[in-house]
Amino acid sequence: MATKKKRTKKGISELRQDLVSGDWVVIATGRARKPHAFVGKPAAFGQPVSNCPFENPFSVKEPPLLRYDYEKQDKKEGWAVAVVPNQFPAFTRGECGEFYENGPYKWTEGVGLHELFITRGHKKYIQDLSLFEITTLVKAYKERYHAIVKEGCVKYISIFHNHGKEAGASIAHPHSQLIALPVLPPDVYKSLKGSEKYFEKNGRCVHCDIVAHEVKAKKRIIYENKKFIAFAPFVSRIAFEVRIFPKSHQSSFDMMEDKDFQYFAEALQTIIAKLHKGLNDPAFNFFIHTAPIKNSYHQYHWHVEVIPKTAVWAGFEMGTGIEISTIMPEDAAKFLKKIKIK
Ligand SMILES: [Zn+2]
Ligand SMILES: [Zn+2]
């Protein structure tokens, strides 16, 4: 494939290639919409507080995995963040590392963990949390991650958050989830391989290079603080996608230091608050991508991807894996950057 440095003519759409995964995305500039065209109905949905299982997460059979209480200066009492095993888990504890064969097929038991991170307040969403609450939530993510790594049974730990029914939330009370898996997820595997290839060729971390380029280019940055940076990726798969990276190289989420929790919490909350305000409470998912537990993928660089539900996967997306975004990431970044949240 011939590559030229500069573009000479503007077309009706642009295909951009992800430097890490090799995936292509389509930015349909000819069908481009203004940021305000993405404003929809609020995603928060009602469920009566009277039968909310998360009002008292300690009433379940198993003891909580973690519990953080408010501190004196918060002027509140009792629990602030609780981590409990999911009562309807997709994965459960069991014998680890056993793979079986059945004819040409390979399978393993769904051995893993499925945990819930519950914050206090039935309608208190990420953007509404106090600095103590959001920092404590982040601390809980890290603490569970670290504890599971030490157990040494699973291969990958995924931490994610769903907001709104369209994003897959079934319980209205805000909560995040952790699923620890006995295998490497395909998306992560692809990114790991891509990072490895880039490192072999250039001797540098691909994500560090991307961050350095974004800092220089400026046009896709939405927010940054001392330790973290958030931008609309050049290869946004979906309108208003945002990625948050630690500025210094860290391959695993487990490497985040205690003193950085607050910076990470602020970056995450700022992005969610901007999306909430700018797009009128869109449904969204965010998840952490990190190097897997055992293999030393030192060239990987953990980060968070925030994906608002601004489009649905249709035939083209399902059939090709290519998503069509109808806003330039540069325009989405400009819009979100301007949104004042305090
Ligand atoms: Zn509740
Ligand atoms: Zn890096």
Tell me what pLDDT residue 2 has.
Answer: 64
The answer on pLDDT for 316 being more than 70 is yes
Confidence check: pLDDT of 129 > 90: yes
Q: What is the mean pLDDT of residues 75-80?
A: 90
Per-residue pLDDT reduced to its tens digit, 232-259: 999 999 999 999 999 999 999 999 999 9
pLDDT at 255: 95
**Structural element, H or E, at residue 179:** strand 175-181
Both structure tokens of 122: 């039935």
Query: What distance in angstroms lies between residue 307's CA and the mean position of ligand 1's atoms?
Result: 24
Using pLDDT thresholds of 50, 70 and 90, give the confidence band for residue 74: confident
Residue 60: pLDDT band (50, 70, 90) is: low
- Asked if the model's pLDDT at residue 33 lies above 60, the reply is yes
Q: What's the pLDDT at 152? A: 76
Residue 216 DSSP symbol: H
pTM over 0.95? The answer is no
d(CA 286, CA 228): 16
CA–CA distance, 62 with 84 (Å, rounded to integer): 8
Q: How far is the CA of 300 from the centre of ligand 2 (A)?
A: 6
CA distance linking residue 1 with residue 18, whole number of Å? 16
| Residue pointed to by tokens 């700018």 | 278
C-alpha 267 to ligand 2 mean position (Å):
18
Q: Cβ atoms within 10 A of the Cβ of 179, count?
A: 19
What's the CA-to-centroid distance between 247 and ligand 2, angstroms?
8
Name the closest ligand to CA 55: 1
Residue 209 Cα, ligand 2 centroid: separation in angstroms?
7
As a 3-state breakdown, the chain gives helix, strand, coil percent values, each rounded to 5, of 35, 25, 45
| pLDDT of 4 over the 80 cut | no
- Percentage of the chain surpassing pLDDT 90? 65
Three-state SS annotation for 289-312:
ECCCCCCCCCCCCCEEEEEECCCC
Residue 29's pLDDT is 75
List the beta bridge partners of residue 306.
242, 286
324 alpha carbon to ligand 2 midpoint, in Å? 28
Residue with more model confidence, 70 or 326:
70
- Per DSSP, the three-state class of 107 is strand
Tokens standing for residue 155: 């291969």
In the block, tokens 């309108």 appear at: 239
